[in-house]
Amino acid sequence: MRVHWRRMLEVAGPVVTRPFLFVSALAAVGILLSVFREFAGLHAVTALNDGYSWGLFKNFNVTTLTALGSGGYALALLTYVCNQGKYHSLMRTALLTSILTYTAGMIALSVDIGRPWNLFFMADPWVWNPHSILWEVAFCMTAYVMIALDFENLAPLLEHFEAENMPPLVRDVAGYAKRFVKAAYPYGVALALALPTMHQSSLGSLMLLGGTRVHPLWQTHLLPLLYVVMAFVMGIAFVELVLMASCTVWRRPIDRFMLASLSNIVSWVTAAWLMIRFGDLAYRGQLGAAFQLDFYSLVFLAETVMIAVPALMLRARGWREDPAKAFPTLGILTLGGMLYRYTPTTIAFRPGTGYHYFPSVPELLISIGFIALAVMGYLFTVKRFAILPATLEMSVLASTKQIKKGQAA
C-alpha cells in the first residue's frame, strides 16, 4: 500500500540512548575546548594563520553547513511560494534541521572571532558598515536564527504546551500564542525566505573579496547566485537524507513518492546550476583550466562529477523512487555541494607562498563538537515533539492510544 505522509508525529522511546550519550560526549569535548580557547587564544587550539585566517569554524561550520541547513528555506519556497502544499508535512523536519545547523554555526562563529566582547556593537547602528559583505551576512543570519526561524519553529512547541496534561494557564497562553502564529505566519515565512536568499548569496560574495587569490575556476561575479542555488539543492537533499535515515532507524514508513518528487526537483535545479557554472566558465574563458588536470582542475572535476552524476542518476524514475538507491545518490550529491561551497574559501584560496592550513586536532574536535550539539538537539526534539512526518493511520492510532491512556488514568 502506498504510504502518504500527511501529519507529524513524535518518535516513541527515551531521549537518552547510547547514540545520544555518544554525541553528548563529542559535544562536551568541543564545548570544553572552546572554553579553553577563550583563555588561551586562537593559536592554542587552531591551525589558523595570517594567510589562512578563516578555517573550519567559519568556512565549514558556517559557510558549508548552513547550506545543508537550507532545507527550511528551500522547502518553504516550494510549499508557500510554489504552492506545493503536499510538502507541508516535511516543513517541520526541514525547519528543525535549519535552526539546528544555523545555531551550531553561529556558536562556532562566536568561538572563531577574536574579540567576542565587541559583538555588542552589532546592536550599534553608528558603527555598522552596510557596505561590508560580512556585516550583511552576520546581520541577516542573526535575524534569521533569532527571529524568523524561531517563529517558524514555534508551532510544535505550542502544540506541546496545549496538550491536556499541561496546567490550564500554560494551555491558555499557548493557545493565544498559536492564534498569533497562525495570523502572522505569512509575514514570518516571507522573512524566513528573504533573509536566507540574502545571506546564502552573500556567503558567496564574501569570497569576491578574495579577488585573484581565489583560483579563477571558482572566482566569479556569479558566486552569490551559484552559492544560493547550491544551498537550495543541498537543503532539500539534506532533508531527504535526514528523513530516510530517521525512518530507517526508527522504523517509520517512508513516503518514497514524495521524496522522489523532491529528488526530481533536486536534479532539475542541479542541472540549471551546472549550466550556470559551465556557462560562466566558458564566458570567462576558463574551460581550458578546468581540464588541465593540475591540482585545481582535479578538485574541480571531483566536485563536478560528485554533483553532476548523482543529478543525472536521479533523472531515472526507478532510481529516485527507491530509497536504497536514492540515499547514497543524494549523499554523494550533497558531499559534492559541500565541496563546492568549501573550496573557494580554503582549497582554492591561495594567500601566497609560505602559508599552509590543515585543521589541528582541537580545531577538528571543536568543529565536530558543534555538529554533535546539533545532532543532540535533533534527537531530543524529534522524540519530544511532533516533527517527523507520519501517515494518517499512525496519527489516528497514536491519538486513540493517548485517549485510552487518559481514560485509564
Partner 1 sequence: MNVDRRTLFKIVAAGCAGVAGVRKAHAAAMQSNTEQLGLLYDATRCIGCKACVTACSDANGLTPDTGSSNGLYQAPESLNAHTKNIIKLYRSEDGSEWSYMKQQCMHCEDPACVIACPLSALTKGDFGIVSWNGTTCLGCRCCQIACPYNVPKFEWSSVNPKVVKCELCRQRLALGQEPACTAVCPKRAVIFGKREDLLTDAHKRIAATPGKYYQDRVYGEKDGGGTQSLYLSHVAFSKLGLPDLGDKSVASGVREVSDNIYQHGITPVAVYTALVAVTHRIWSKHLKHSEKEAEELGLEEQL
Binders of partner 1 among 54-73, rule CB under 8 A?
54
Element (H, E) at 347: none
Residues 6 or more apart in contact with residue 265 via CB below 8 angstroms? 78, 236
**Minimum Å distance from CB 159 to partner 1?**
7
Per-residue exposure over 229-247, b if at least 16 CB sit within 10 Å of its own CB, e if not: bbbbbbbbbbbbbbbbebb
Please report, as residue ranges, which positions from 30 to 59 form the binding site for partner 1 (by CB under 8 A): 38-44, 48-51, 53-54
Q: Which of residues 128-147 bind partner 1 (CB under 8 A)?
A: 128-129, 131-136, 138
Q: How far is the CB of 56 from partner 1 (least distance, A)?
A: 14
**CB 195, CB 148: distance < 8 Å:** yes
Nearer to partner 1, 58 or 256 (CB): 58
Q: Residue 56 or residue 311: which is nearer to partner 1 going by CB?
A: 56
Residues 306-325, interacting with partner 1 (CB under 8 A): none
Question: Minimal distance in Å, beta carbon 48 to partner 1?
Answer: 7
Q: Minimum distance from CB of 334 to partner 1 (Å)? A: 26
How many angstroms separate the CA atoms of 366 and 346, rounded? 18
Q: Where do we find the cell 517509520?
A: 252
Interface positions, 216-235, toward partner 1 (CB under 8 A): 221, 224
CB 340 within 8 A of CB 303: yes
Contacts to partner 1 from residues 368-407, by CB under 8 A: 386, 392, 395-396, 399
Check residue 125 for interaction with partner 1 (CB under 8 A).
no
Residue at grid coordinates 522522489? 260
Continuous segment of H or E residues that includes residue 390: strand 389-390
Stretch that binds partner 1, among 20-28, 205-213, 318-326, 370-378 (CB under 8 A): 205-213
Complex with partner 1: residue 159 or 322, whichever CB lies closer: 159
Q: Segment contacting partner 1 (CB under 8 A): 22-30, 201-209, 285-293, 376-384?
A: 201-209
Q: Among residues 192 and 326, whose Cβ is nearest to partner 1?
A: 192
Q: Which is nearer to partner 1, 29 or 157 (CB)?
A: 157
Q: Report the residue from 206, 231, 265, 308 that binds partner 1 according to the rule CB under 8 A.
A: 206
SS3 83: coil
User: How many CB atoms are closer than 10 A to CB 296?
Assistant: 19
CB atoms within 10 A of CB 128: 14
According to CB under 8 A, which residues from 253 to 292 bind partner 1?
none
Instruction: State the DSSP code for 253.
Output: -
Cα 296–Cα 301–Cα 302 angle in degrees, nearest 5 = 100
Taking CB under 8 A as the binding criterion, the range among 18-26, 27-35, 118-126, 296-304 that sits at the site for partner 1 is 118-126
Residue 319 has, within 13 A of its CA and on its CB side, a CA count of 14
Cell digits of residue 61: 561550520
Taking residue 183's Cβ as centre, other Cβ atoms within 10 Å add up to 9
Q: Contact with partner 1 (CB under 8 A): which of 143, 177, 190, 254?
A: 190
Segment lying near partner 1 (by CB under 8 A), choices 66-74, 202-210, 249-257, 324-332: 202-210
Minimum CB separation of residue 186 from partner 1 in Å reads 4
Is 177 an interacting residue with respect to partner 1 (CB under 8 A)? no
d(CA 345, CA 46): 16
Binder to partner 1 among 118, 275, 301, 328 (CB under 8 A)? 118
Q: What minimum distance in Å lies between the beta carbon of 185 and partner 1?
A: 5
Residues 397, 10 contacting (CB under 8 angstroms): no
Footprint of partner 1 on 338-367 (CB under 8 A): 351-352, 354
Residue (141 or 217) nearer to partner 1, CB: 141
- Cα–Cα distance measured from residue 75 to residue 49, given in angstroms and rounded to the nearest whole number: 38
Instruction: Say which residues have a Cβ less than 8 Å from residue 191's Cβ, sequence separation at least 6.
Output: 143, 147, 148, 151
Compute the least distance from the CB of residue 205 to partner 1, in Å: 6
